[in-house]
A and B are shown apart, each in its own frame.
Chain A
Amino acid sequence: MTYQEKKSIVSIISAILIFVSFSAYKYVRYPAEGMEQTEMFHYWGSFVLVLTLVSIFAHIVISIIFNIVFRITTGEKEPNFADELDKQIELKSHRNGFFIFILGFLLAMGSLVIEQPVQVMFVILIVSGFISDVAGSVTKLYHYRRGV
């Protein structure tokens, strides 16, 4: 298995771990029923912002650890640039990720139209962001294994 394939797998696993553990952490801190609307918006706003920051930080740390482990175990140096194949796969991965996020965004807006609680909209937005992240990594893995 090549460096890029391993990196895609690590990316998928870390995205799932980060999302599940952060959601579990926030779930137990969900305010009790009957909270004010401003309090609820504060909760969901901080959920999205903190999750974004935690994800970026965790992905950087995991990427550094992965590179160190890869060098030690294989004795190879990781590629330090992206060539035309990498860029093409990156584009396909972004396209699929954005497509899924836009679908989630439209679904979230639809939930408001059918008068679902605001929480439902936020949950759909956050979950679609997570699925789009995973879909991007799965797309990368697929194209590195099967070609472009």
Chain B
Amino acid sequence: MSKNLVGNHIRKLRFEYNEMTQQQLADKVGVTRQTIVALEKGNYSPSLELAFRIAQAFSLHLEEVFFYGEQTRKEEDGG
């Protein structure tokens, strides 16, 4: 399977955002909890529409939640 190059800060943002649970975020953006789990693990690149809905849920811009590229992912993984 090709490596997913779209990463995100969802897990970090959930905790900064009143320790929101995965289920609460899922309900807010209209997906199942499983999809939020897959997104946080980096196993799924969301559609543009879902990406915007997630960014809106945190009242942030798209680029503040999602990033693209191997380099940025390494930085994210390294903390």
Contacts and interface: CB of A to CB of B under 8 A. Distances in A.
Contacts, number: 40
The 5 A-B pairs of least Cβ separation, nearest first, read A147-B43, A83-B31, A79-B32, A85-B35, A2-B34
A147 B32 contact: no
A84 B41 contact: no
Interface residues of A, number: 13
Interface string A76-97: 0001010111100000000000
A19 interface: no
Interface of A: 2-4, 79, 81, 83-86, 144, 146-148
B34 A85 contact: yes
A140 to B, nearest CB: 12
Contacts of A2: 34, 37
A79 B1 contact: no
Contacts of B57: none
